[in-house]
Amino acid sequence: MAHTVIGQQALLQQLDQLVQGGHVPHAMLFTGADGSGLLAVALHMAEALLCQAQDVHDRPCGQCQQCRMLRTWQHPDLHFSFPTYKQKGTSSDYKPVSDDFIKQWLQLLSRGAYFTLNEWLSEIEIDNQQSIITVAESDALSRKLALMSSQGGNKVVVMWLPERMNDAAANKLLKLLEEPPSQTIFLLVSEHPERLLDTIVSRTQRINVPRLTHDDIVDALTQQRGIAPDTAQRIARVAAGNWHKALEMLDAESENTEFLQHFITLMRQAYQRDVKALRQWSDQMSTLGREKQRRMLTYFLHLLRENFMYNFRNPQLCYMTEKEEQFATRFARFIHEGNILQMTDKIQTAIRDIGQNANPKIVFFDLALSIIISIKM
């Protein structure tokens, strides 16, 4: 196998049965919940379609020549299509195609098939969302698919985020779907199928990829990432079936540890009514970048909610790390029906003000003073 799919065993068996029975539609649309592994499932399907093992019930076999090529996703009959952007230095009439970025794409895939659009944009070093699939991409696919299969089997197109096609590209893809080239199968991986042309959707068989289970994420965290079982259980509960969110929690662990300490300092000094110390806290928070300030305040909202729910003594309602819960055992009693709405409103206002470029020293000190009043209620 060229890659690992997290969970989804029932769906993978259904897809394998389609291949075994020879009933694979010429176009399939993979869609479902965020972080459920749409691309990973589609790539499994591509492997099964391109594998040429003699045993039709054991595909992908992981051993044949085709599967060996698929380990690096460089099979000549596997074609990728994905959002790109116009690079600096190209002529005004040049339209980018996926082949311009195939090296970066394969590098990202080599680290796993679970990544977001933002991670892809970071890989190709652009910091905006103006990435599209151009009409030149549809033309390039038409030329490639007009050729005979290099290996004598299927030709497979994996198109990631087809909703990012411009109108011209979408109309040309529609023509390909209406009159598909011989032995060609299209695997469309869409996070927002509602943005696709209805005529494109109607020519595909929709494959709904379900949300991952709690145990799927726990197993992946412990077996693939070496995370301790207790920590994996906590992350899985917060991730709620979203592997992207589970990974974000792992990446954000150090930042959230910092944010937790800032929250603890704020609440302790507010409870002590130490205005001088709160002024110093506000000055310190003002030195953080605005995006980090907003992430921190959003994290504060999370902590307020969790401490409020902690008072109900129902662990199924709480989604905290071990460190957060240790703090909650002492602090949660101060967050109750009498102040939760007021404190939440003040933090939301601070998030809005930071987003509108207000002076952060004033914003944070005003927040700190309001917490003095709220926490004693």
d(CA 273, CA 298) in angstroms, rounded, equals 24
Regions of the chain where pLDDT drops below 70: 1-3, 54-57, 89, 127-129, 252-254, 313-319
Cα–Cα distance for residue pair 249/251, rounded to 1 Å: 5
Strands 205-209 and 27-32: parallel
- d(CA 377, CA 70) in angstroms, rounded, equals 63
Q: pLDDT (tens digit, 9 = 90+) per residue, 77-131? A: 999 999 998 777 677 778 889 999 999 999 999 988 999 888 888 888 775 557 8
Q: pLDDT tens-digit profile of 146-179?
A: 888 888 888 999 999 999 998 999 998 998 898 8
What strands, in cross-sheet order, belong to the sheet with 155-160? 78-81, 155-160, 184-189, 27-32, 205-209
What is the model's pLDDT at position 317? 62
Closest Cα partner for 334 from 271, 285, 249? 271
Helix, strand, coil % over all residues of the chain, rounded to 5: 55, 10, 35
Q: Give the pTM.
A: 0.71
Structure tokens at 20: 């075994």
The H or E element containing residue 306 is helix 290-310
Confirm if 126 and 85 have CB atoms less than 8 A apart.
Answer: yes
